[in-house]
Copies of this chain bind each other. A is one copy, B any other.
């Protein structure tokens, strides 16, 4: 038996990718990423929820606001990171996981956090991390 709650936000960023495999995406280009953050739990709290949807939205928004309208190639936080869709999922997921472990989302009922970034209507990537 398991439960989850997902909230959606988005970011609009510039970046370039390093590696021949990326072809034209090695050039400076950009993306709108729809960002879905999923919080999983084995059971609900006394209010009947995994996490308050408002709280989840604000937690995600704090992260998306720190990334949006930026050139990720020049963000100190991402120095040395090849900002593929997968790596950005991980970056956001790990930040949410760190907050969860620090108790930001109430009692320690959460079992994992997953983040999906849709880079277009025909491609997306996901990352899931256990808590």
Taking Cβ atoms with an 8 Å cutoff, the residues of A that contact B are 1-10, 12-15, 18-19, 21-25, 27-34, 44, 47-50, 52-55, 57, 68-71, 81-87, 89-90, 119-130
| Contact pick for A27, options B3, B71, B119, B125, CB 8 Å | B71
| Contact pick for A68, options B18, B29, B57, B128, CB 8 Å | B29
- Kindly report how many copies of this chain are found in the complex they form together: 6
Interchain residue pairs with CB less than 8 A apart (27): A3-B125, A7-B122, A7-B123, A8-B122, A8-B123, A10-B120, A10-B121, A12-B31, A12-B120, A14-B15, A14-B29, A14-B71, A15-B30, A21-B49, A24-B69, A25-B69, A29-B30, A29-B71, A32-B120, A34-B121, A44-B86, A48-B81, A50-B86, A53-B119, A57-B122, A57-B123, A121-B121
The interface residues of chain B lying within 8 Å CB-to-CB of A49 are: 21, 84, 86
The interface residues of chain B lying within 8 Å CB-to-CB of A54 are: 23
| Pair B30/A13 contact, Cβ less than 8 Å | yes
Of chain B, the residue at the smallest CB distance from A16 is B14
The interface residues of chain B lying within 8 Å CB-to-CB of A52 are: 21-22
Of chain B, the residue at the smallest CB distance from A71 is B28
| Pair A48/B123 contact, Cβ less than 8 Å | no
